[in-house]
Amino acid sequence: MKRFRTTLALLACLLAAPVATAAPPNASPVDNALPLVTVHKSRYCGCCVKWVEHMRAEGFEVRVVETEDMGPVKQRVGIPPAKGSCHTAEVEGYFVEGHVPAADVKRLLAERPKARGLTVPGMPAGSPGMETPDGRVQPYTVELISPDGKATPYARHGGAQ
């Protein structure tokens, strides 16, 4: 079942956006105060490329590691069951799973809570990397994962706040 969900997420990424290789022309220069973000993703996932572009546009330096088997990466960093998405990032001892907005990553790094990291389970329409042509944002919650694997709401996006 886990492999089926991973395959389904990969397929959704492939259909979500065309593959891009360069930073967008309006990308902000790297903010040297921000740490390096390492992103593990499939080479075929267009929405993951778009999330990387989002992070770069927000001043992060991003290193991409292409891998076809995301399971071991997710297990190593401690992504709880049913909290996964298509790509997994690592930044200063935290994981960032899925389409988490850069502003929430910056907040995490400023606050430094005792946590494993942040996740946006699934692939909500309108989240960074999953933009829609009409600009619609499906309401979604960024979750903070505690050291014991429990999830609590960290930020809400889209819809009525």
Provide the pLDDT confidence category of residue 33 given band limits of 50, 70 and 90. Answer: confident
Q: Is the pLDDT of residue 23 over 70?
A: no
Gap between the Cα atoms of 133 and 80, Å rounded: 32
pTM: 0.80
Helical packing angle, 46-57 and 2-16, nearest 10°: 70
Provide the pLDDT confidence category of residue 160 given band limits of 50, 70 and 90. Answer: low
Question: Minimum mean pLDDT among 16-20, 82-86, 109-113, 127-131: which range?
Answer: 16-20
Helix (H, G, I), strand (E, B) or coil at 118: strand
